[in-house]
Amino acid sequence: MFVATTLLATAIPASAAVALPNSMTALGDSVTRGFNACGWYTDCVAGSWSTGTNPSSHSHYLKIKAANPAIGNRVFNDARTGAKMAELPDQAKAAVSHGVDYLTILMGANDICTQSEALMTPVATYRKDLDTALATLKSGLPNATVYLLSLPDVRHLWSIAKDDSSARSFWSVAKICQSVLVNPTSTAQADVDRRDRVRQRTIDYNTQLQQACQAYGSRCVYDENRIFNYPFKFEQISRWDYFHPNAEGQKVLADITYRLH
């Protein structure tokens, strides 16, 4: 799922840079809460790629603070483990209440990762909830920079972990992301096609994110699919569920997505 950080840094156009903020928050789900990055089935907000305070996180917040100490401790995390896009409008209201001038949004993995392919959120519903949230942000925080991030390629996660017996066992017992991870060793055409369709749904969501950001205007930045395209390694996923990023994975997320300066 990822490319080398140094290459990405040089590939980001100067026009993408925005002013360094004095406050920030993060909206999203378990990835942004740092779930399973530093403990068994628990949030690890200090290790979050976005708002983490642990130096090992390389978080956006710490990168901003190093260049702009004025941000101080004005950092929030309004993400919630288990959240779907339907919750983003309420998270957007929380962001407005903080009065921040920078926020990251990584939301949709739980719309993809359901107990079956049939339960995935329809694209039109995903976009409707996204637009509702963005409208709240645009009216409530008109001068804030909104950073929308692409969703990871969960089929790639399957491909790097499917040969590990512990991963397969945990996916089965915990019923993790069964839309993709059920029957992980199967090469039956039905399973191949299912994984391809789920990947296409991820691409469709990312297209909606990109289009919504463009419609939002100059205060919105899209990550140009940096997360989706990054080739995550097995060593970067948590050994507590073989699904979420571990501490190294969180650090990489921070490094490949940061683009403020």
The ranges assigned to domains in the chain are 5-257
* Residue from 64, 70, 62 nearest 18 by CA: 64
Contact 106/34 with Cβ under 8 angstroms? no
* Residue from 97, 106, 91, 95 nearest 30 by CA: 106
Q: What is the block-wise mean pLDDT of the chain (261 residues), using blocks of 10 residues?
A: 32 50 99 94 97 98 98 98 99 99 98 98 99 99 98 98 98 97 98 99 99 98 98 97 97 96 69
**pLDDT, position 260:** 87
Distance CA 147, CA 240 (A): 29
**pLDDT, position 10:** 30
pTM given for the model: 0.92
**pLDDT, position 194:** 99
Coil, strand or helix: which one is 79?
coil
Q: Which residues pair with 105 in a beta bridge?
A: 27, 148
**pLDDT, position 39:** 86
- The CATH superfamily holding the domain 5-257 is SGNH hydrolase (3.40.50.1110)
Distance CA 170, CA 184 (A): 11
Element housing 94 (H / E) = helix 88-98
Amino acid identity for residue 18 in this structure: V
**pLDDT, position 18:** 54
114: exposed, middle or buried (Cβ count in 10 Å: 0-12, 13-18, 19+): middle
